[in-house]
């Protein structure tokens, strides 16, 4: 079993770029796809990145995902920040037959 | 439009049972694996269970194994979660999610309290 560790919170100003990390505790980050979910207060999660770096239709290209084997982590980068991007973001991967979630990162856009 | 709608949540006493449903529309339900994910109040997301498209493969989180049962009816485009021996720590919003998480329902709240 492994864990995914995210920073508890990040904050940045509108128009800037922010990166949220997701570090895998054991095993290679590249061995299973990573997804990223956005959850606004009172709403269900929605996918912003799937299969490490793929954007669902309708998600703006300001959102991008990547993985880095050297740090064994995945990253979600949001450029041109907007106030509407303020939300909780969760990374998720797979451990054989189960899903593993990171603890979530609260993004504040101020 | 792809849509998932959960129902069946509510208030139940510790030790009680509840059955959640997830009605799917807008896609070929029988072609996708399905999942239940929960979120306790103010907490993060926790995977609960997954079922393959034909129900051949079923998996549970250790926290619910032996108490919860996932099932599906492809003829009715529906996913279910039978929850028995409920505990206070099962209190959460329960979401159903399609496949690898590309679509989620709006969730249904389960409260376990005396």
Q: Which of B35, B44, B107 sits opposite A44 (nearest CB)?
A: B107
Give the tens place of pLDDT for each residue, A22-47: 999 999 999 999 999 999 999 999 99
- pLDDT, residue B22, reads 98
Position B60 confidence tier, pLDDT thresholds 50, 70, 90: very high
- pLDDT, residue A97, reads 85
Residue B48 has pLDDT above 90, yes or no: yes
Residue A6 has pLDDT above 90, yes or no: yes
Using only C-alpha atoms, chain A has a radius of gyration, in whole angstroms, of 13
Q: Which residue has the tokens 């709240």?
A: B109
Identify the structural domains of chain A with CATH numbers, from first to last: 4-105 (2.60.40.10)
Number of alpha carbons in the 13 Å side-chain half-sphere of residue B114? 3
Q: How many percent of chain A have pLDDT more than 70? A: 100
Q: Which contiguous run of DSSP H or E holds residue A26?
A: none
- Residue among A45, A91, A104 with most chain B CBs within 10 A, to mutate: A45
Over chain B, what is the mean pLDDT?
97
Measured between alpha carbons, how far is residue A62 from residues A15, A48, A95 in Å? 11, 10, 29
Q: Which of A45, A97, A100 sits opposite B104 (nearest CB)?
A: A45
Give contacts of A37 with chain B, Cβ < 8 Å: 45, 101
Sheet strands (E) in chain B: 3-7, 10-12, 18-25, 34-39, 45-51, 58-60, 68-73, 78-83, 92-98, 103-104, 108-112
Distance of alpha carbon B105 from alpha carbon B33, whole angstroms: 15
Give contacts of B106 with chain A, Cβ < 8 Å: 43-44
Give the tens place of pLDDT for each residue, A85-104: 999 999 999 998 899 999 99
From the CA of B9, how many Å to the nearest CA of chain A? Answer: 15
From the CA of B45, how many Å to the nearest CA of chain A? Answer: 7
- pLDDT, residue A1, reads 87
Q: Is A73 on the interface with B (CB under 8 A)?
A: no
Q: Which of B45, B59, B101 sits opposite A47 (nearest CB)?
A: B101
| Structural tokens at position B51 | 């079922």
Q: Phi and psi at residue A85, in whole multiples of 5°?
A: -80, -10
In 3-state terms, what secondary structure has residue B13?
Answer: coil
The answer to whether A5 and A75 have CB atoms below 8 angstroms apart is: no
Distance of alpha carbon B33 from alpha carbon A65, whole angstroms: 24
Residue B42 has pLDDT above 90, yes or no: yes
Position B31 confidence tier, pLDDT thresholds 50, 70, 90: very high
């Amino acid at each position: 079993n492994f864990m995914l560790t995210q920073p508890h919170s990040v904050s940045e100003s509108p128009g800037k770029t922010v990166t949220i990390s997701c570090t895998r505790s054991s095993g290679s980050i590249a061995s299973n796809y990573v997804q990223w979910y956005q959850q606004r207060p009172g709403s269900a999660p929605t996918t912003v990145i799937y299969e490490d770096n793929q954007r669902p239709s309708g998600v703006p290209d300001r959102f991008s995902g990547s993985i880095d084997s050297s740090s064994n982590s995945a990253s979600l980068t949001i450029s041109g920040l907007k106030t509407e991007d303020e939300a909780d973001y969760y990374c998720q991967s797979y451990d054989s037959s189960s899903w593993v979630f990171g603890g979530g990162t609260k993004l504040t856009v101020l | 439009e792809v849509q998932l709608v959960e129902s069946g949540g509510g208030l139940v006493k510790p030790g009680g049972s509840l059955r959640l449903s997830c009605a799917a529309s807008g896609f070929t339900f029988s072609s996708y694996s399905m999942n239940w994910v929960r979120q306790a109040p103010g907490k993060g997301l926790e995977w609960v269970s997954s079922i393959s498209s034909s129900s051949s493969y079923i998996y549970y989180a250790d926290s619910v194994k032996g108490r919860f049962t996932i099932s599906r009816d492809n003829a009715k485009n529906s996913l279910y979660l039978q929850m028995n021996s409920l505990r206070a720590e099962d209190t959460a919003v329960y979401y159903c999610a399609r496949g690898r998480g590309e679509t989620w329902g709006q969730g249904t709240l389960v409260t376990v309290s005396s």
